[in-house]
C-alpha cells in the first residue's frame, strides 16, 4: 500500500496532463498513460511506501472512436489461467499473463485471445474487456471472475443503464460465444472493437456501431467538462 500524498487529487493530475499535452503539441486525439510506482530502493521488502508517478502522452490521429472496418479473429488461450485476487481487477506492470496469449495469437494468425480463470470462465482479452450480444441483450464477465475493471467497461455499462438497455454481468464460456450475435472488445484507446470470427462462427456489428456512436457522444461530453475544470 502507498502513503498517498495529500496533493494527489483529480485536479492535480488533470493539470499535469494538460501541461504535458501542451508541451507535446497534442491538440486533438491522444493517448495518456499514468503509471504510479513505489519510490526509492528495495527489492521485495521496500524501503519506503511513498509513490512516484510517470505520465506519457502520444498523439492519435482520430479525435473520436472509430469502429474497426475489418472484424477481429479471436481464440481462447488455455495454457495459463488468471484467477480472482485483490490485484486481478487492476492494471499492473506484471503483464506476463497478457504477453503469453498475445504471442500465441500472433503466432497462430489471430488478432487477439481471450483469457480464462481457474473455473474455465472467459474473463477478458489480452488488452480489452469482453461483451457479447444475444438478442440485443449484453453480457460481460463480472469483476469477481478476475477481469480488469476497465474504464470503458464501466462507462459502457453506465451508458447502457442510462439508456435503459439490458446488460448483465454474467459468467461466460465458449458456448456463450458461439450462441452470440456479436462479440465486442472494449478499452480506452479503441473504444469498441467488433469480432468477426471465433472458431467457425461469424458475427455482426450492428449493436457495436450504435454503442460506439453513443459512447462518442458521452466521451465528447466528458471532454467538455474536463476542459471547463481546467480553465
DSSP string, 119-172: TS-EEEESSSEEEEEETTEEEE--GGGT----HHHHHHHHHHHHTT--EEE--B
| Contact present, 123 and 139 (Cβ < 8 Å) | no
Please tell me whether residues 119 and 153 are part of one structural domain.
Answer: yes
pLDDT at 171: 97
Rounded to an integer, what distance in angstroms lies between the CA atom of residue 134 and that of residue 158?
A: 19
Rounded to an integer, what distance in angstroms lies between the CA atom of residue 124 and that of residue 76?
A: 10
| Range 107-113 average pLDDT | 98
| Neighbour tally for 52: CB within 10 Å | 11
Please tell me whether residues 40 and 134 are part of one structural domain.
Answer: no
Q: What is the pLDDT of residues 68-83, one digit of tens each?
A: 999 999 999 999 998 7
Q: What stretches of the chain show up as alpha helix (H) in DSSP?
A: 10-23, 96-107, 151-162, 174-179, 206-230
Q: What is the pLDDT of residues 127-144, one digit of tens each?
A: 999 999 999 999 999 999
Please tell me whether residues 90 and 130 are part of one structural domain.
Answer: yes
Please tell me whether residues 81 and 172 are part of one structural domain.
Answer: yes
Q: Which domain holds residue 207?
A: 72-218
Please tell me whether residues 171 and 102 are part of one structural domain.
Answer: yes
Please tell me whether residues 119 and 189 are part of one structural domain.
Answer: yes
Let me know if residue 1 belongs to a domain: no
| Contact present, 26 and 59 (Cβ < 8 Å) | yes
Question: Count of domains in the chain?
Answer: 2
- Provide CB contacts within 8 A for 21, sequence distance 6+: 27, 30, 32, 57
Please tell me whether residues 36 and 115 are part of one structural domain.
Answer: no
What are 47's three cell numbers?
524501503
Lowest mean pLDDT among 66-75, 106-115, 164-173, 211-220: 211-220
Say what angle helices 10-23 and 206-230 make with each other, to 10 degrees.
100
pLDDT at 222: 59
Let me know if residue 223 belongs to a domain: no
Report residue 211: phi and psi, to 5°. Answer: -65, -35
pLDDT at 223: 55
Note the pTM of the prediction, 2 decimals. 0.85
pLDDT at 31 over 50: yes
Amino acid at each position: 500500500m502507498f502513503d498517498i500524498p495529500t496533493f494527489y487529487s483529480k485536479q492535480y493530475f488533470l493539470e499535469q496532463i494538460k501541461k504535458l499535452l501542451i508541451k507535446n503539441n497534442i491538440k486533438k486525439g491522444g493517448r495518456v498513460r499514468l503509471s504510479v510506482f513505489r519510490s526509492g530502493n528495495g527489492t521485495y521488502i521496500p524501503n519506503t511506501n511513498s509513490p512516484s508517478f510517470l505520465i506519457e502522452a502520444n498523439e492519435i490521429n482520430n479525435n473520436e472512436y472509430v469502429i474497426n472496418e475489418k472484424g477481429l479473429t479471436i481464440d481462447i488461450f488455455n495454457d495459463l489461467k488468471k484467477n480472482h485476487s485483490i490485484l486481478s481487477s487492476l492494471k499492473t506492470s506484471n503483464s506476463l499473463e497478457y504477453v503469453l496469449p498475445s504471442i500465441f495469437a500472433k503466432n497462430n494468425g489471430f488478432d487477439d485471445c481471450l483469457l480464462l480463470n481457474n473455473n474455465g470462465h472467459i474473463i477478458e482479452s489480452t488488452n480489452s474487456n469482453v461483451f457479447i450480444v444475444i438478442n440485443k441483450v449484453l453480457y460481460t464477465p463480472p469483476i469477481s471472475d478476475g477481469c480488469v475493471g476497465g474504464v470503458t467497461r464501466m462507462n459502457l455499462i453506465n451508458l447502457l443503464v442510462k439508456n435503459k438497455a439490458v446488460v448483465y454481468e454474467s459468467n461466460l464460456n465458449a458456448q456463450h460465444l458461439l450462441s452470440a450475435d456479436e462479440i465486442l472488445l472494449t478499452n480506452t484507446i479503441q473504444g469498441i472493437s467488433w469480432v468477426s470470427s471465433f472458431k467457425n462462427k461469424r458475427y455482426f456489428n450492428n449493436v457495436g456501431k450504435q454503442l460506439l456512436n453513443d459512447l462518442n457522444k458521452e466521451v465528447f461530453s466528458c471532454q467538455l467538462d474536463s476542459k471547463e475544470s481546467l480553465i
